[in-house]
Every structure is written in structure tokens, then in C-alpha cells.
Structure 1
Amino acid sequence: MKYLIPEDITVLFFSTEEQLWYWLNIYSSVRVASLVIQTNINIENIVRHSSAYAYIRSILIRCPTNELITLKQVSRSYVKIDGIFADDTRLLIKLVVDLALLFEEIGDRQREDENNELAAQRNYDRAANLCHLYIFFSLYYNMTAISRENYINKLLVVWTMPIPDDVKALFTMVFVNISELIKYVSENITKTDTFHLIIPLDCLEYLMDDPIYKFPQVLQIDVIYDGVNELKRIRRRFQSKCKKVEFYTIYDLLRHFEKAELDKTLVSSNSIDRSTIDAILSIIQHRLHLKKLGMFNHLSSFLKQCTPTPLYGLPAKNIKDFAPCFICPSCKLIYEQLYRLECEHQQCKVCVNIQENCARCFKMISRDKVSLVQDSQMKIQDLSIGCSSCEWTGSLEDYHVHFKQKHDQLITCAIFNQDVNISYQQDLTGMNQEILLHNHSPLDSNVSMTSLNGTCIWGISDISDMKNNSASDEQKSIYSSSFYIFPNGYKICLRLFLNGDAKARGTHMSLYFVLMRGNYDYILHWPFQFKIIFTLLNHLSSNNNHTNFLWPDTKSNSFQCPRSDMNIAYGISKFFPLDLFKQNESHYVKNNKMFIKIEVDFVAERPILPLITNAGELLNEEELVDTTYDNLGQLLCRSDAL
């Protein structure tokens, strides 16, 4: 527990009541998002006792089918009970979606404070990853689609903008104008028990002029508004006349509606309605995507400094339309030109360089027998490519420009002190390629943040506290989150000594590169031998960025295949003079945050040994173990889950 932060997702199991009460009393400051109770003994007493703890947000109960009715009657006395389930599938779906909405809510609160933007970004990513987890539930459990035309209650919406098909599945009918909705209700009033209407604010007066709003079958009318001033006037005029009307912003309505529809679907005795859950998750994911893009605009000045880095390959929505000669079988990206191996299979230049064996037949790659496929470039120019992140289509040449201009935030992996943040693609192998094409990122044991171009930005927050801690030796260094530097590539992290390591204490900032044990080590080429470039970003002028690079010492244990969680760090002890940093701190630190870019050049030709001038150095032995304030344990705890 000592490595946990408030936003961590941790699952704890208790076999007895006494263990539960003991833990709740000891860790009284830890937020309990959901308490899941699964027991046949004394369940009402456990619910009553646990409801008294203020920091328990909700209670979910798993019980035998024959106890459902009894427990539902009991639940009316306890507001924290948020669901009672007779099977694990429904309970897990409820838990995952509720946690996603909780992290979105936390992110929304943090986003209001500019100093908490990075924390908000992390919580949006947690929410998105929880949504992706549902994909795997749908693969392993029987979730059938149910026709909504059989429902007695009909949900009707007026919306003039296009709505994705999976979102339409939530509604009985979608109309582009209010007159069509009124006509439908009038014609079906004797065929339907109840109606629930959702309309924009500008349609309300038209609806209230028609008698259908008085029909008892029309139980609820939700009105979507934007302008607060206009709302006050409309609410005074109409809410007193019609108690059925409720006013929501689009986000508030969706959250309210998502939870209500999810609960309705999961408590049903029918098979789980997959179409409804798919639609709810799609809405949440789209909302999170927009919020994360909005947040990422604050990093755009830093991201634009990364665009000169080559983009080796590109994802595409219509990747199935491309012949294998254009798709690297390892990283699953599209290339203008691939390289033919001795075994006659093809891979991209980066995968040829970083991997030991062919991705198809697993024969060892003889790099002196690799040749460029000469005739592929002309063929691909005639193909139309669909952008993986929007509706754009065009040629590969134009796609390169489009992707860098419109989706630069998707190219470069961004990480932070203690948690992994946004990246574009994660695990790109096997069935996950299908998920990739729909902008999903499955949350499984192989997932970590991944860069598409060997570049990553480390956002370091709380610089003022770090300066004080490092000066007093309370916290000499900090680790970045772990990430993959290329799809199916090496897993690494960074280590920063803000006040310098033992060799540069008080004179220079020290920065180190750390290879970690990853999921693809068995296919990679060892030792690691690629050029590593560190850049301290200047937010006022990219011309004043501070850049230094090193070539790995391939004889050092730091660059061999990791046999433990991480290798010994290797880097630059005198990375940046502290006196220069203090003089120009406002150039490198903004809102108490600093950004460091790392690039790994997979295609640069390694110099002959005597000509290597930037060789870097091993971390001093006395720095291998930091103080108790070091975040290494937290990093390793997270790495085990990735």
C-alpha cells in the first residue's frame, strides 16, 4: 500500500468481515470507489456496517439468484447500494463503467486547475482504458443484441447532427426535427406504454404547443441546453407548466442517461443487451477523446518540436484493403517501402534493425542480406488511405502531411512522473489490430504506452518540490513511467537527478536511460545499440532547447537483455548546468512543469568504436539505491501490471 496514490486502481480481497473492518479503519484516508460484497452469511449486517464509512462511494452485491428479490428490498434502505447482481458478468461490466465515469469526473475537477492538467490527463486515460476493458468481456461472455422495437418504453430523440450507428442503438428512434417526433408519438400512442423524449432547447416551445406533451404515456422530457442565461428564462416559463421537463447540458444528460440505461440493461433478467452497452461505452470514449485532445493542446508547443523526427510508418483505418507488401507484419504500420529478408518475407526498416528474427517465420535476420523492395513505391501511390483517427481519405503522400498536421498529438508518446499518459497505439499484434482500427486500446497484460516514431516527451510536474527534496537529499531522483519506444520494441524509462548525481551534485542536472524487462525482449536484437538523444525543451523558443546525445556501450550490462525488472541506468551525468538552469528557469519551467524529450534513432548508422565521442556513462554505484522517497517501487508495481 505504501506505493499507492489516490487515483490508483487497486483490487483487494478479504475472506472475513474482520479483515475488511480492520483495513477500512487502518486506511481511512483511501477512497473506496466500490465495495463488492459476495457472501451468503450475514450480508445485511455487512451492508449496514460498511454504509457507515463515508469514504466508500458505492456498494455492489453479488448474490445467488434466489436471494435477488430479498436483497433488492433490503437495498432500499441504503443509498450506497448501487447494484445487486446474480452473475459475475453483469457485476464486472457495472464496476468497469462506474470506475470509468468516476475517473472522468475526477479528471473534470482537476482540469479546472491549470496546475493539475497532467493529473486530469492521467485520469482521462484511466477512464478510457477501463472502457477498452469491456471489449474483452464481450469476447468471452455471451452478450446478445436485443431489438429495441420490442421494448414497451420508447426513447425518442431529436438531433440534427449525424449520430454514429452504435450510439443510435440506445434510442428507439432518432429524428432530425421535432415535427417528425410529434407525428411518431401521435401515431404510436396506443401501441406504447411510455415515451421518454430528448429534445434541444429550441424545440421545446414547438413541443409545448402540441397536446402530446400532456399525454400520460409521455413520462419524461429531457431538454438539452447550452446558454445559461437563456435557460433561466425558459425554465421559469415552462417548468412550472410541465413537471415532466428536466433541463440538462449535453454532458450532464449523457452521464445521467448512461448510468440509467446501464442499470436498466444489467438488472434485466434477459440476456445482456450488448448493443446498449456498446453504445454507452462509445459515447464515453468519444467524450474522453475530445477532452484529451483539448488537454493535449496545452502541450502542442512541445509536440511541434518533435515533428522533425521521422514518422517511420502510419496506421490506417482501411488497413485490410492493403496488400501484405505494404504492411510490416511486426509493427502493423503502413510503409511506402519495405525490406526483403533472406527468407523472402518483408519488414520495415526499424523492425529489421531492432528484431532478431523474422516476424513471420522466425528465422534469424541476416542484416547483410536485407534488400529494399524496389517496385512497391509506385503501386502504393494509387491506393486510397483512410485516416485512422478521422474521416479523411487520400494518398499516402498527403496522409503523411495530414497526420502530422492534424494528429501530431497521436504520434509522440507522452509520459509523466508516476503514471502513464496518452499515446497512440499500444499492443499492435494479433486480434488487437482490429481493435486498433477502431481507435481502441485493449487493457491486457501486454499493454504499455508506445511511441510510433521512437520519440517520447516526459512531463515532470511539481518542479519546486523536487528542487527542495533533491537539495536536501530527501529525493535525489525520480523515474518516468515506463513505455515502449516502438510497437513491439524495447521497454524503457528515464531517471532524472534534478540536483545532479554523485558525480555532478550541485553543478549539473543528470539524466539517465534505463532498459526494462518488456513483453517483446525475446524477439529483439541485443545488445541495444541505437543512438539516444535527450532534449530539455524550452517553451519560449525551440531554438534554445538543450540537446545532448549518447551512443550505448554495447559491452555494458546496461544494454543487454534485462534479467531483472530493470538494468543499471546509463546516461549523461553532466546533462545541463544548474547555474544556467537557475538563470533561465522561466524558459524551461512553466506552471511548475518541465518537459524532457527522448528520441531513439533506429536508422542512424552506428560509428566505428574509436570514433564514438558521446558514449555516456554508467550510473554511480552509490546512486543505484535512492532514499525511501524514490518512486522506483511505484514504477515497478505499475510495470508488473503492464
Structure 2
Amino acid sequence: MVGNDARNKHILDRTFICSVCSFILHDPLQLTECGHRLCQSCFNVEQETTIKCRQCQLETLRINVRPDRGFKNDMQSLPIDCSFLDAQSKRQTSIDSPLFYSSPTGYKMRARLYLNGYGNAHCTHMSAFFVLMRGLNDPILKFPFNYKVVFCLYDQTFAKQHIIDSFRPDIGLSGFQRPRLDMNIVTGISKFVPLTKIQQENSPYIRDDTMFIKIMLDFNDIPNISLPIAMSLNPGLPIHVQHMMIEQEMKQRSEQQSQYSNETKEIKLSCEETAQ
């Protein structure tokens, strides 16, 4: 992983910036010949026995490059405007979305992101969770909640390689029963997105320091094969229009599959007749 990007890195002292990746130092190492620093990951990329400093061009033997733990501790007090760095330093391990409803008379809920991962995904993935909130509509709603929850991290380039994952609630868990307190226990996908995909330079999933994540409650039991279609629709369209387009696409695919099956049967029958 390269250094940490941040919205305010341009106002920080240059001593906190890696001379290789130009991001804020991550696990800084010091070149003993000149005193300049680089990220541990940037150092690992270098294969030579001597490391040439990008700032002053002095060379340091590889065995003389040292971890700078004191400097790393000093960096903890930096006013860095970066949610991922907050998560890594444990100043803020998660981010909650605003409250939202499945419909005007529907379920009340929110999403929670662990930017640096949660549980067995810590430091390897971003974790996405879903939590039911106690709402005024609860007395007329169906519980336990048993609808599939779909997460989509949008690719903001023309490639549209969105990352989609989903889970179906275990109705035996307390997190999907009718909320008795303000919120239920959070449940979701620990290994939603590998950190390597969102922390790489020029990641298609982050533009202008912004990610877009869509959460869809699947009330119509959409097949997983059709989820990319659902997530590729223009998010600006009204929900009922999106549902109509999804249903049309599913119907069209079903008809194509049925036609393909019929053609396969005809070919098989024809081959059998020829053999006879």
C-alpha cells in the first residue's frame, strides 16, 4: 500500500510527504545517509542494494535504511483530513450514513462503513454493514426482516466496473427482529472491498475524495446474475422506473433463455433423427 492521500496534504510540511509516491508517509523509513524518508511499501518496491534518495540523490545501503518509529509517533498529531487515515489510526473506526427509509411507510435504517475493515477483515478490506433502526412504521411492518440487502460501490469512470455484493438476513439473529431499542446490532459484509482497490493511485472508485455506495433492499428477489443490470441503471431515475426496467430486462433474459433451450432441444432431436 502506498502512502496516505489527504485533502489537505498540500499544506503539510514536506518532511511528512514520501519522496517516491508523493503521499503522506505510511510506516516511514529513514535513509541514514541523508535523513530523508519514504514509505515502507515504496521501499519494498526498490530491489537495488543501494537506495537513491529522490530528494537529494544521495545513496544509502539497503541494510542502513531504518524504521523511524519516533517520527511515526509525531505524525499522529498531524491535522490530516483523511477518513481512511482516521480509521487506520483508530481515531474514527467507522462512518454512519444518514438515516433513511425503504419507503415513506417502510423500514428505518442506516449503513455503517468500517473504512479499514472490521473483525477478520481488519487492514485488508473495507467492511459494509446494515442496521435496522426503531421507526414509527414498525407496528405495521413484517418482522423478522428477511429481504436481501445489496451493496454497490460505484466505479466513477466509463468502465463502470462496479463492485457488488449482497447478503440475505439470518432471521434467527436479533439484528433482524423488530427493534426494541433505538438501533439493532449491525450485520453485513466484512470483506466488501479489498483496500488495494480503493487505496491504489487513481482508483476509479474515488474521485474528488468521494465514494458513492448504493444500498438496495431486494423486495423482488432479483437473481444475482441480474444485480449488475440493476446497479448500472441511472441512479437519478425514480425508484419505480428502475424497478420497471429491471423487470423488463429480467423478462427479456428469461425469454432468451427459453428460446435458447428450445433451439437446443430441436438440435438434439434433429441429431437423434439423423442417427436413426
TM-score (norm 1): 0.22
What is the Cα deviation at residue 577 of structure 1? Answer: 0.5
C-alpha RMSD of the superposition: 2.2
Which of 108, 133, 138 is the aligned partner of 1:491?
108
What is the Cα deviation at residue 565 of structure 1? Answer: 0.5
What is the Cα deviation at residue 583 of structure 1? Answer: 2.3
Give me the whole-angstrom Cα distance separating, in 1, the residues matched to 2:223 and 2:207: 36
Give me the whole-angstrom Cα distance separating, in 2, the residues matched to 1:487 and 1:495: 21
Letter of the 2:116 counterpart: N
Give me the whole-angstrom Cα distance separating, in 1, the residues matched to 2:193 and 2:201: 12
| Matched-pair contact (CA < 8 Å) for 1:508–1:574 | yes
Which of 490, 499, 503 is the aligned partner of 2:120?
503
Alpha-carbon distance change, 606 to 522 in structure 1, aligned in 2, over 3 angstroms: farther
Q: Which has the higher helix share?
A: 1
Give me the whole-angstrom Cα distance separating, in 1, the residues matched to 2:96 and 2:87: 13
Residue in 2 that maps onto 1:469: 86
SS in 2 for 1:533: strand
| Matched-pair contact (CA < 8 Å) for 1:479–1:493 | yes
1:505-584 residue pairs with structure 2 within 5 A? 505-541=122-158, 543-583=160-200
Give me the whole-angstrom Cα distance separating, in 1, the residues matched to 2:145 and 2:168: 10
Letter of the 2:213 counterpart: I
SS in 2 for 1:588: coil
Residue in 2 that maps onto 1:345: none
| Matched-pair contact (CA < 8 Å) for 2:198–2:206 | no
Q: Which structure 1 segments of 5+ residues have no match?
A: 1-114, 116-462, 608-642
For residues 162-198 of structure 1, give each alpha carbon's deviation from its aligned partner in whole angstroms, at most 9, with x where no partner exists.
xxxxxxxxxxxxxxxxxxxxxxxxxxxxxxxxxxxxx
1:333-482 residue pairs with structure 2 within 5 A? 465-482=82-99
Give me the whole-angstrom Cα distance separating, in 1, the residues matched to 2:156 and 2:86: 24
Residue in 2 that maps onto 1:317: none
| Matched-pair contact (CA < 8 Å) for 1:484–1:492 | yes
1:41-60 residue pairs with structure 2 within 5 A? none
What is the Cα deviation at residue 599 of structure 1? Answer: 0.6
Give me the whole-angstrom Cα distance separating, in 1, the residues matched to 2:186 and 2:194: 20
Q: Percentage identity across aligned positions?
A: 43
Matched, 1:602 2:223: no
Alpha-carbon distance change, 513 to 594 in structure 1, aligned in 2, over 3 angstroms: same
What is the Cα deviation at residue 559 of structure 1? Answer: 0.4
1:44-83 residue pairs with structure 2 within 5 A? none
What is the Cα deviation at residue 542 of structure 1? Answer: 5.7
Letter of the 2:82 counterpart: D
| Matched-pair contact (CA < 8 Å) for 2:167–2:188 | yes
| Matched-pair contact (CA < 8 Å) for 2:112–2:129 | yes
Give me the whole-angstrom Cα distance separating, in 2, the residues matched to 1:591 and 1:605: 33
Letter of the 2:208 counterpart: N
Aligned pairs, number: 146
| Matched-pair contact (CA < 8 Å) for 1:478–1:495 | yes
Q: Which structure 2 segments of 5+ residues have no match?
A: 1-6, 8-79, 225-276
What is the Cα deviation at residue 503 of structure 1? Answer: 1.8
Give me the whole-angstrom Cα distance separating, in 1, the residues matched to 2:140 and 2:91: 40
| Matched-pair contact (CA < 8 Å) for 1:531–1:606 | no
Give me the whole-angstrom Cα distance separating, in 2, the residues matched to 1:542 and 1:517: 39
What is the Cα deviation at residue 584 of structure 1? Answer: 5.7
| Matched-pair contact (CA < 8 Å) for 2:154–2:160 | no
| Matched-pair contact (CA < 8 Å) for 2:197–2:203 | no
What is the Cα deviation at residue 586 of structure 1? Answer: 3.1
SS in 1 for 2:118: coil
Letter of the 2:89 counterpart: S
| Matched-pair contact (CA < 8 Å) for 1:467–1:498 | yes
What is the Cα deviation at residue 601 of structure 1? Answer: 1.0
What is the Cα deviation at residue 487 of structure 1? Answer: 2.2
1:96-495 residue pairs with structure 2 within 5 A? 465-495=82-112
Alpha-carbon distance change, 551 to 485 in structure 1, aligned in 2, over 3 angstroms: same
Alpha-carbon distance change, 553 to 538 in structure 1, aligned in 2, over 3 angstroms: same
For residues 481-524 of structure 1, give each alpha carbon's deviation from its aligned partner in whole angstroms, at most 9, with x where no partner exists.
00101120000000000000122111000000000001100000
| Matched-pair contact (CA < 8 Å) for 2:146–2:170 | yes
Which structure 1 residue ranges, 4+ long, deviate > 2 Å from structure 2?
Answer: 583-586
Give me the whole-angstrom Cα distance separating, in 2, the residues matched to 1:583 and 1:605: 32
Letter of the 1:479 counterpart: D
For residues 248-280 of structure 1, give each alpha carbon's deviation from its aligned partner in whole angstroms, at most 9, with x where no partner exists.
xxxxxxxxxxxxxxxxxxxxxxxxxxxxxxxxx
Alpha-carbon distance change, 488 to 606 in structure 1, aligned in 2, over 3 angstroms: farther
Please identify the structure whose Cα radius of gyration is greater. Answer: 1
Q: Which has the higher strand share?
A: 2
SS in 2 for 1:543: coil
What is the Cα deviation at residue 605 of structure 1? Answer: 7.4
What is the Cα deviation at residue 534 of structure 1? Answer: 0.2
Letter of the 1:500 counterpart: G
Alpha-carbon distance change, 484 to 527 in structure 1, aligned in 2, over 3 angstroms: same
